[in-house]
Amino acid sequence: MSLLVEQLLRIPARPCRITVFRTIALTLMGTAAEEFVPDPEYVKPDSGRWATPEGTLYTATSVAVTWNEYCRWSAKDLSCPPDHTDGIPKQLGARLAYQAVGPPPPQRALVRLEFALERVPDLTLLSAAQALLAAQFDVSKLRCDDHSECRKLSAVAPQLGWDAMIVPSAATDQQPGRCVPIFQAGRARIVDREVAASPASPTLFHALETRYRVGERPGWLKLR
């Protein structure tokens, strides 16, 4: 079913100066490359939940959600730490926030990006949800494993004049868990960027907190 654009135009899209985060692999063609400097603005066309032909820059509003998103998408790459094959002891407590998954831990660059965007709707608001429903968009699809309905929405973003969107993260039930997919028009509005940490890896706490796709949560990833 096609979305009703006139209803989507009811959603306020305001100027927004925003700081976001993402991670980038420190490998090239699957091999570690000492001279390889990852491009923090790299996008892959027609990929992900909010796919567009020009590519969508996937970011999150916090470091924690950034790692949750990584774990959700890369569950098969999360290695079980030694002696934790039957679960992670609860008595590890606060250490979970510092102990990386592995060995070896996934090594990535954590980057911080800042944008001065012109038109950004916040789809996490109740008023936006009401407009989405009126536009024939099922808001439950914002976090489901099937991305087809979300891609219908990203397809009309240029028609709506949206630079980006604030959306709920599918990778965590913790609040606030927000992602910011940035479209082609918004990517040109970057004002600052830096590598916040390199190398960097998700911790056991990030992995435990992540909401995985159906059937993809690693069997060892549980508290005992």
Helix, strand or coil for residue 161?
coil
Tell me the β-bridge partners of 203.
100
Return the percentage of the chain with pLDDT > 70, whole number: 95
Rounded CA-CA distance 216/200 in Å is 23
Return the percentage of the chain with pLDDT > 90, whole number: 77
Give the pLDDT mean for 7-36. Answer: 82
pLDDT at 34: 52
* Structural tokens at position 21: 């985060």
Q: Which of 168, 43, 189, 46 is nearest to 114 (CA)?
A: 189
Extended beta strands in the chain, E state: 13-25, 27-28, 31-32, 57-60, 108-121, 167-168, 178-182, 190-200
Tell me the β-bridge partners of 26.
none
pLDDT at 40: 80
Distance of CA 74 to the CA centre of its chain: 12
- Assign 84 a pLDDT band (cuts: 50, 70, 90): confident
Q: Is the pLDDT of residue 117 over 80?
A: yes
Q: What are phi and psi of 84, to 5 degrees?
A: -120, 20
Measuring CA to CA, how many Å separate 198 from each of 12, 29, 37, 139? Answer: 37, 19, 10, 36
Query: Edge to edge, what strands does the sheet with 190-200 contain?
Result: 167-168, 178-182, 57-60, 13-25, 108-121, 190-200
- Assign 4 a pLDDT band (cuts: 50, 70, 90): very high
Q: Which of 34, 38, 45 is nearest to 24 (CA)?
A: 38
Measuring CA to CA, how many Å separate 168 from each of 1, 21, 24, 196? Answer: 23, 15, 21, 23
Q: Is the pLDDT of residue 35 over 80?
A: no
Q: Is the pLDDT of residue 192 over 80?
A: yes
Rounded CA-CA distance 110/88 in Å is 26
Measuring CA to CA, how many Å separate 112 from each of 12, 15, 215? Answer: 26, 20, 31
What lies within 8 Å, CB to CB, of 173 at 6+ separation is 211
Q: Is the pLDDT of residue 27 over 80?
A: no
Give the pLDDT mean for 104-116. Answer: 92
Mean pLDDT of the chain: 92
Q: Is the pLDDT of residue 95 over 70?
A: yes
Give the pLDDT mean for 201-224. Answer: 95
Q: Global pTM?
A: 0.93
pLDDT at 150: 98
